[in-house]
Chains A and B, each alone.
Chain A
């Protein structure tokens, strides 16, 4: 039984910068939960993704710092070369091995979200050419959280949403532009 809206976790890979931009641009500043994001990108890539996404969003989009307190109205991006994890109310980083060739890993983030937030977690899998995130989304589902997968036909790369749907009986399969309104509605009503 999902009880809504303690945290929104999003995972994306190939095509994710565009997809995240679309979702974040449609989320209002008063979304009552913090957003955490694992977007695959190069280890030493420029740290310019947060401002790019932030310009289009009412949320404050920042790169995560270790042990930073999470606040509603903010979106926290996994820094390149680190896994992003959460505990209740705060972020944590690790430099552990890559998972499925990825660091940040969506599975690592979602697993920590499931453990810390259980039925208050919302997990969203967006476009990507990877299987990362499927196991993590299953963990969120198993812990009672709400699971959303981008409709594969609307994804720039459909492998990641396909993999997630193969692993999880997701609560919602939504076109890209339906995701933000759904999150807003769920958080306002406290349930799907």
Chain B
């Protein structure tokens, strides 16, 4: 007769619960979090457990399965990539100096802002291109896995109390106009000028489960893949590679490295510090 197995330890139980949650969501809803970076995924799970007034991950699993609005809330948690306009101003300075001149050589420019969250980065790029006189021949595809997040991005509205930070970022990023020209205040919110979104297509797209949908001259996917494990990073890098034109530019977050990815040899740095790479093979 088999010996009874010793009880599993608490942290192993937690790992089991996380696996079951990811598996359950995948089976029931098709969203695939099974290869999300575990430390961040775990943290966001516990935040949702607490926000729902629950006490365990298993309880959250039961609730997301039986209560689709709870799944939507959890999806919003997982989708929101806390961002700021002109976050990492040095990146946008380099973008102006090194990417914009490349784009001038194209008659028409397609940019993919992959994982656009609520649109802060998308509008930052739109502003840079406006100021460079390139916006009218550009189309920016801004995608996020959450329809609710994309819907929020489409409103072009942000809390007014963020404008001080965004203005400082804009100036540090090399902006030369008055940042307030780009938005109109309305109580506690501001709305950015609709002309900034004229050539922006906001759409739902899931980097994990959806395919490439076009070829782009620039893909920005910054601080999105930090939420994925290395296997999933590899998968998404292939998708991005397949979606870039030859000599297209890939922009990553400032603390991401392309060195761990098998496509690294297909790129040369356009600016290593800004994590801007050119596809050359």
Contact = CB atoms under 8 A, between A and B. Distances in A.
A96 B82 contact: yes
B11 to A, nearest CB: 6
Contact of B257 (A68, A95, A108, A116): A68
Q: How large is the interface on A (under 10, 10 to 19, 20 to 34, 35 or more residues)?
A: 20 to 34
B233 A82 contact: no
Nearest to A69: B260
Contacts of B89: 44
B126 to A, nearest CB: 21
B255 A115 contact: no
Contact of A85 (B10, B11, B40, B233): B40
Given A92-B226, A143-B11, A64 B39 contact: no
Interface string B251-263: 0011111001000
B39 A115 contact: yes
A81 B11 CA distance: 29
B38 A87 contact: yes
A81 B226 CA distance: 14
Contacts of B43: 85, 94, 96, 108, 111-112
Contacts of B255: 63-66, 79, 82, 93
Interface residues of B, number: 31
A97 interface: yes
Contact of A95 (B9, B39, B226, B229): B226
Contacts of B10: 143
Interface string B222-260: 010111011001000000000000000000011111001
Contacts of B227: 94
A94 B83 CA distance: 11
Interface string A73-110: 00000010110011100001111110000000000100
Contact of A94 (B11, B40, B230): B40
Contacts of A8: none
A10 interface: no
A46 to B, nearest CB: 11
Q: Which of A67, A87, A112, A118 has the most CB of B within 10 A?
A: A67
B39 A112 contact: yes
B39 A86 contact: yes
Nearest to B15: A115
B37 interface: yes
Nearest to B12: A118
A174 to B, nearest CB: 27
B82 A97 contact: yes
A111 B40 CA distance: 11
Given A79-B255, A92-B37, A97-B82, A66 B44 contact: no
B230 A87 contact: no
Contacts of B83: 95
B42 interface: yes
Contacts of B254: 79
Interface in B22-48: 37-40, 42-44
Interface of B: 9-11, 14, 37-40, 42-44, 81-83, 87-89, 172, 223, 225-227, 229-230, 233, 253-257, 260
12 contacts: A66-B255, A66-B257, A79-B254, A81-B87, A86-B39, A92-B37, A92-B226, A94-B39, A94-B40, A97-B82, A115-B14, A115-B39
Closest 7 CB pairs of A and B: A85-B39, A112-B39, A66-B226, A94-B40, A92-B39, A95-B223, A93-B226
Interface of A: 44, 63-68, 79, 81-82, 85-87, 92-97, 108, 111-112, 115-116, 118, 143
Given A63-B255, A96-B40, 12 more contacts: A44-B88, A66-B225, A66-B255, A67-B229, A67-B260, A85-B39, A92-B39, A115-B14, A115-B42, A116-B39, A118-B9, A143-B10
